[in-house]
Amino acid sequence: MRFFVTTMAPERRNSTSRTAQRLAPFGTSIFGEVTWLAQDRGAINLGQGFPDFEGPPELADAAFRAMRDGHNQYARPMGAVPLALAISKQVERDHGLHRDPLTDVCVTSGATEAIAAALLGTLDPGDAVLTFEPFYDSYPAITALAGARFDTVPLHFPDFRIDFERLRSKVTPETKILLLNAPHNPTGRVFDDEELESLAAICIEHDLVAVCDDVYEHLWFDGARHRPLASLPGMGERTITISSTGKTFSMTGWKIGWAHGSARLVASVFAAHQFLTFATAHPLQHAMAYALETFDGPWLQRLRDEYEQRRQCLLDGLARSGFTAARPSGSYFVMARHDAFFDAADDPAEPDVAIARRLIERTGVAAIPPSSFYREAVSEGRRLLRFAFCKRIETLQAAMDRLAKGL
Ligand SMILES: Cc1ncc(COP(=O)(O)O)c(C=O)c1O
């Protein structure tokens, strides 16, 4: 990460920086930096997880319709009623969870805001958040903004299973939130029933609130179906479940997300949301209500089928070039060991960053160096790269050809 920070954003390292101390350790997000370098060098960007294809064209029509129908002023702060209704129906249909659309759902500006509102709305200074590493990069930053402590349990390459002994040893009287991302970015894990049942038992035993980031809820493969932690016995009342339409409908730029849970927990999310954004883009909420109502079962299955082909294309290409990849059963990321490409000229302190840089410069393919997503097992993160397969098959094939030639 340091390479990108010094190269691309020298002003951020200036000692006269006015950035708040709580945020200073987080520097500049690795996503922006890799995207910048990839654009500058004309690389194919398999770094940041945004599709290079469009979502259903009907959604743009639905958004225009909503604008023409006059949904252009502030939306209801908890979410436009048609979207809150569509979310509650989807959650009931897919997971058998009953959520009152008017009290148990809060629409946010993407899952990112829902994560922020869930943590800021429930944490007090001195509380602790327990999650897994590698983690999504906003988790520690928002925890720090809340003045809380961030603790992690590593998931180890290549099977990334939860070590429950380790998890139990990290629960302290200060632990208030168990933060779970499932299906998991970047490991691609879809946690199995045994793991979910043990997680539920720990939450109940220690009276933890589970904050579940389920943005990849519809992307699972090889029969490893995603089961939300909230749907386990005793968990519906103590879980805030977060999702968004960015990943499912390939519209990451629309930033429509939500949190659902018991009315009591959603009130805490709303307590922060009302001061973060107050309300979310109104016409897009109507379009997303239309999306959730219209594109269900068979459409979602087709989405998964297409993603399975993309996943295979990436896995085959990485193997051909000498990477050792873990086969993901969910999300749209692959973690791969890069040992074969490390050479003495690379920075031994940050090999993942050095190799990500070399990939962009020499092969024209960008991937994310994941060590900044680790706290404890940083040395493991430094041996890996994260590739995204939310790209057209032609893009993935071109990237794999470039890797094979360039390496
Ligand atoms: C695990 C995880 N959570 C949250 C988000 C953010 O979602 P949104 O774009 O809806 O804010 C992402 C996006 O990459 C993600 O991977």
> Measured in angstroms, how far is the CA atom of residue 277 from the centroid of ligand 1?
17
Instruction: Based on the fold, state whether residues 334 and 355 are members of the same structural domain.
Output: yes
Ligand 1 centroid, distance to 247 Cα (angstroms): 8
**What pLDDT digit, counting tens, does each position of 231-243 carry?**
999 999 999 999 9
**Do residues 36 and 68 both lie within one domain?**
no
**Quick one: 324 and 370 in the same domain?**
yes
pLDDT per position as a tens digit, 43-80: 999 998 999 999 999 999 999 999 999 999 999 999 99
Q: Residues 324, 398: one domain? A: yes
Pocket lining: 257 vs ligand 1, CB cutoff 6 Å? yes
User: What pLDDT is attached to residue 31?
Assistant: 77
Q: Are residues 224 and 101 located together in one domain of the fold?
A: yes
Q: Which two tokens stand for residue 2?
A: 């340091």
Report pLDDT for 2: 34
The 3-state DSSP class for residue 135 equals coil
Last residue of a domain, one of 295, 312, 339: 295
**Total number of domains constituting the chain:** 2
Q: Among 263, 278, 295, identify where a domain stops.
A: 295
Of 280, 295, 310, which marks where a domain is finished?
Answer: 295
**Residue at 312: amino acid letter:** Q
Position 6 scores a pLDDT of 34
User: 173 with 205: CB under 8 angstroms?
Assistant: no
Is the same domain home to 183 and 321? no
Both 140 and 76 in a single domain? yes
Q: Which atom of ligand 1 lies at the shortest distance from residue 184's CA?
A: 1
Q: Which domain holds residue 352?
A: 2-54+299-406
Is 111 close to ligand 1, i.e. is its CB under 6 Å away?
Answer: yes
- Is residue 80 domain-shared with residue 20, that is, in the same domain? no
Co-location of 346 and 247 in the same domain: no
Is any atom of ligand 1 closer than 6 Å to the C-beta of 136? Answer: yes
Q: Could you tell me the mean pLDDT of each successive run of 10 residues in the chain, 407 residues long?
A: 37 66 85 85 94 96 98 98 98 95 98 98 98 97 98 98 98 98 98 98 98 98 95 98 96 97 98 98 98 95 97 98 97 95 70 91 95 95 97 98 94
* E strand segments, 34-157: 44-45, 105-108, 128-133, 149-154
Beta-carbon count within 10 A of 164 CB: 15
What confidence score (pLDDT) does residue 12 get? Answer: 42
**What CATH number is given to the structural domain containing 343?**
3.90.1150.10
Q: Could you tell me the CATH number of the domain that includes residue 98?
A: 3.40.640.10
Please report which helix (H) or strand (E) contains residue 238, including its range: none
How far apart CA 265 and CA 119 sit, in angstroms, is 11
Q: What residues pair up with 385 in beta bridges, in sequence order?
A: 336
Tokens 């009342």 correspond to what residue?
A: 237
Whether residues 257 and 246 share a domain: the answer is yes
Nearest-CA residue for ligand 1 atom 14 is 49
Claim to verify: residue 220 and residue 280 sit in the same structural domain: yes
Can you give the pLDDT at residue 8? Answer: 39
pTM of the model: 0.95
- Clarify whether residues 63 and 106 are in a common domain: yes
Residue of 48, 247, 334 to test ligand 1 pocket, by largest number of atoms within 8 Å of CB: 247
